[in-house]
Structure 1
Amino acid sequence: MQVEINGAPAYAYTGGKAFDAALTTVVFIHGAQNDHSVWALQSRYLAHHGYSVLAVDLPGHGRSGGPALSSVEAMADWLLGLLKAAGVQRAILAGHSMGSLIALEAVHRAPGLVVGLALLGSTYPMAVSSALLATSRSDEQAAIDMVNIWSHSSIAHKPSCPGPGFSVMGGARRLMQRMSARNPDQLFFTDFSACNSYANGEAAAAAVQCPVLFVFGKKDMMTPPRSTKLLTGALAHGKIASVDAGHQMMSEAPDAVLDALAGFAASIK
């Protein structure tokens, strides 16, 4: 699906099914330097099991045009604009990493629209080291390589994840490189700076009334479970699911992530 937001094309993958705004819509929001493709399994499954799906490309990422937005608040406003343009009436927001902050802020801004919130690989504050930010400005490829290593639990994944001959780390690295090639205006720095600067997380979390699911990777080095106490404390009614993966859990443990999200969606009336 493609709509226009603020004069620029905005793309969302619908999971291989025609979008039906009358259904509850599961909205997938990717993290920094990524696009909708990180949700390939989860988005397609839910689209074929009773939900409408919008797996978005944020501005300046993938197939969505315009410059990358420099704040979580601006990205949340853009997301709500896309949902309005699509005619969404009931939304379950599922955000990964930077996308989880966007989802949290969007719920805070439009509580009546959102009936469920799933936060994957999330923490607050989402601090980014000054060394990584500096490297992203001087040598973006080196920064990509650093994050790619930190985002995965192992260099050598078992053949069952997700299939023989598939390189989990290689795929993630190539996607980030592709995002840089499509948007060479320091996309990495813009995204990670937005995560680092976001300051409304605690207030936004305190206002959330809808059901909440946290999905944490047991081996996550980017947003380790021990760093999430402020967020989980502010959303004390949230349920926690742990998967045997690092930060890039959707590719390292795709079935476990799908099971958690499908069960959560099914629990929402």
Structure 2
Amino acid sequence: MLLDVQGAPAYCYTGGKPFDAALPTVVFIHGAQNDHSVWALQSRYLAHHGHGVLAVDLPGHGRSRGPARRSVEDLAEWLMAVLDAAGVRQAALVGHSMGSLIALEASHRASDRVARLAMLGAAFPMKVSDALLSAALDDEEAAIDMVNIFSHSTMAQKPSCPGPGFSVMGGARRLMQRMSRLNPERLFHTDFSACDAYANGEAAAQAVRCPALFIIGSRDMMTPSKATRLLTGAIAHGKVVRVDAGHSMMQEQPDAVLDALTAFLR
């Protein structure tokens, strides 16, 4: 589904069902150098089980046009504009990595519009190493390789993976390479810089009053468990679920992530 948001087309995947704003809405927000497809399994299931789904492509990513936003705050404002364009008064926000910060900031700016808040692979501060920032600026292909190595807990998925024979790491690499081709303006560096600069996470977390969920990959090297402690401490009522996965948990353990989300949304 394409919406006109802040003067540019914004794409939202609706899970294979026509979007119905009268249903409980779940908004999925991807991380750096990604698009809506990282949520394909979870968003499709929820769309076929009683929810209205909007899995967004952030500006400059995937099918959404316009320049990539350079701050988490601007992205949170854009996300609220998406809800306006879709006719949604209130929604559950589900964000991964950079998307978790966007969801958190949106809940701070418009708490009455956020019914539930789920954060996957979240951390605050979400500092990015100088080496990775430099690679994202000067050698994006190297940055893609670095992130994929650190985002996955294994080179090859176990036989129990829902997609036997499918390369989770290879798929993630190809997606990031596609984002580079669609937006040659050093998208990875823009996204990483926004994460690195975001400073309002603690205040935003302390203000959260809606039900909250943290899904943490037990083998996440990008946002390890200790990096989430400030947020989980500030949102004391938040539930914590751990899954046996790295940072790319939606692909490595899609069923475990879906189980946690469906229980939370129920």
Asked if Structure 1 and Structure 2 have the same fold, meaning a TM-score greater than 0.5 normalized by the shorter chain, the answer is yes
Shift of 1:156: 1.9
User: TM-score scaled to structure 2, two decimals?
Assistant: 0.99
User: TM-score scaled to structure 1, two decimals?
Assistant: 0.98
Q: Deviations over 1:122-157 (max 9, x none)?
A: 010001001110111111000000000000001121
Is residue 22 from structure 1 mapped to residue 8 from structure 2 by the alignment? no
In the other structure, the counterpart of 1:134 is 134
- Give structure 1 regions of 4+ aligned residues with deviation exceeding 3 angstroms: none
Shift of 1:162: 2.7
Is residue 157 from structure 1 mapped to residue 148 from structure 2 by the alignment? no
Amino acid at match of 1:89: R
Using the TM superposition, name which of 176-185 and 159-168 deviates more: 159-168
Alignment of 1:1-269 (within 5 A): 1-266=1-266
Q: Is the 8 A contact 1:162 1:251 kept in 2?
A: no
Aligned mates of 1:220, 1:13 — CA distance in 2: 27
Aligned mates of 1:165, 1:231 — CA distance in 2: 37
Shift of 1:24: 1.1
Shift of 1:160: 2.3
Amino acid at match of 1:93: L
Aligned mates of 1:111, 1:188 — CA distance in 2: 29
Amino acid at match of 1:218: S
Shift of 1:159: 2.5
Which runs of 5 or more residues in structure 2 are unaligned?
Answer: none
Amino-acid identity (%): 72
Q: Is the 8 A contact 1:22 1:89 kept in 2?
A: no
Shift of 1:212: 0.1
Aligned mates of 2:260, 2:96 — CA distance in 1: 14
Q: Deviations over 1:213-256 (max 9, x none)?
A: 00000000000011211111111110000000000000000000
2:236 is paired with a residue whose SS is coil
Amino acid at match of 1:191: D
Q: Is the 8 A contact 1:23 1:52 kept in 2?
A: yes
Aligned mates of 1:26, 1:156 — CA distance in 2: 31
Aligned mates of 1:4, 1:186 — CA distance in 2: 24
Q: Is the 8 A contact 1:5 1:81 kept in 2?
A: yes
2:111 is paired with a residue whose SS is coil
Q: Is the 8 A contact 1:11 1:56 kept in 2?
A: yes
Amino acid at match of 1:38: V
Q: Is the 8 A contact 1:161 1:251 kept in 2?
A: no
Shift of 1:90: 2.2
1:55 is paired with a residue whose SS is strand
Amino acid at match of 2:124: Y
Aligned mates of 2:165, 2:154 — CA distance in 1: 16
1:112 is paired with a residue whose SS is helix
Aligned mates of 1:162, 1:181 — CA distance in 2: 29
Shift of 1:53: 0.3
Using the TM superposition, name which of 83-92 and 189-198 deviates more: 83-92
Shift of 1:18: 1.0
Q: Is the 8 A contact 1:71 1:198 kept in 2?
A: yes
Amino acid at match of 1:187: L
**Paired positions, count:** 266
1:31 is paired with a residue whose SS is coil
